[in-house]
A and B are shown apart, each in its own frame.
Chain A
Amino acid sequence: MNKRVLFGTLIAGALSTSALQAQDSVFVGHLADLSGPTAFVGKNYANGIRDALGYIDANGGIDGTRLEFETVDYAYKVPQAIASYKKWVSRKNMVAMQGWGTADTEALITFVAKDEVPVYSASYSGHLTDPTGKNPKTKKPAPYNYFYGASYSDGCRALVQWAADDWKNKGGAGKPKFTHVGDNHPYPNAPKEACAEYAGELGFEVMPPIVVSMKPGDFKAQCLSLKDSQSNYAYIANLGGSVVSLIKSCGTVGTDVQFMSNIWGGDKPIFEAAGAGVKDYIFPAMTPFWEDDAPGMTLVRDISKVSDPSGTEFRSHHYVRGVCSAYYMKEAMEWAKANGGITGANIKQGMYARENWVPKGLEGVCLPANWTAEDHRGINTVNIYKGNYNGGDIEIERVTQVTLPRRDDWLGY
Chain B
Amino acid sequence: MSTVSMRPCGDFRTSYAEDRTIFETRTTLYLAIATIALLCLAPFILDAYFLTLGIQVAYLGIAALGLNILVGFTGQISLGHGAFFGFGAFASAWLHNSFGIPVFFCIPLAGYMTMIVGMIFGSPAARIKGLYLAIATLAAQFILEDFFARADWFTGGSYGAAAPPVAIFGYEFTNDQSFWYIALFALVTMYLWGTNLMRTRDGRAFVAVRDHYLSAEIMGINLTKYRLLSFGVSSFYAGIGGALYGHYLGFVSAEGFTILMSIQFLAMIIIGGLGSVKGALMGTIFMVMLPEMLEGIVGLLSATSWGGSTAFTDGLAYLKEMSIGLVIILFLIFEPEGLAHRWQQVKSYWKFYPFSY
Contacts and interface: CB of A to CB of B under 8 A. Distances in A.
Nearest to B256: A78
Contacts, number: 103
B37 to A, nearest CB: 24
A50 interface: yes
A227 interface: no
Interface in A64-122: 70-73, 75, 77-80, 82-84, 86-87, 89-91, 102-103, 106-107, 109-111, 114
Contact of B162 (A71, A107, A139, A184): A139
Nearest to B255: A103
A106 B251 CA distance: 7
B176 A86 contact: yes
A189 B156 CA distance: 12
Given A110-B250, A110-B251, A185-B255, A50 B310 contact: yes
Contacts of A75: 317, 321
Interface stretch (B44-52, B127-135, B195-203): B44-52
Contacts of A321: none
Interface size class of chain B, counting residues whose CB lies under 8 Å from the partner chain: 35 or more
Given A127-B159, A139-B160, A185 B48 contact: no
A70 B299 contact: yes
A190 B158 CA distance: 6
Nearest to A185: B149
B253 A83 contact: no
Interface string B150-170: 100000111111100000000
A195 interface: no
A34 B253 contact: no
Nearest to A92: B49
A90 B253 contact: no
Interface string A13-27: 000000000000000
Contacts of A86: 48-49, 51-52, 176
Interface size class of chain A, counting residues whose CB lies under 8 Å from the partner chain: 35 or more
B175 interface: yes
B306 interface: no
Nearest to B289: A83
B249 A107 contact: yes
B309 interface: yes
B129 to A, nearest CB: 30
B309 A103 contact: no
A71 B298 CA distance: 11
A107 B253 contact: yes
Contacts of B313: 71
A114 B174 contact: yes
B315 to A, nearest CB: 10
B295 A72 contact: yes
Interface in B308-337: 309-310, 313-314, 317-318, 320-321
Contacts of B19: none
Nearest to B158: A189
9 contacts: A34-B314, A35-B320, A80-B291, A90-B49, A102-B255, A106-B255, A107-B251, A140-B162, A186-B149
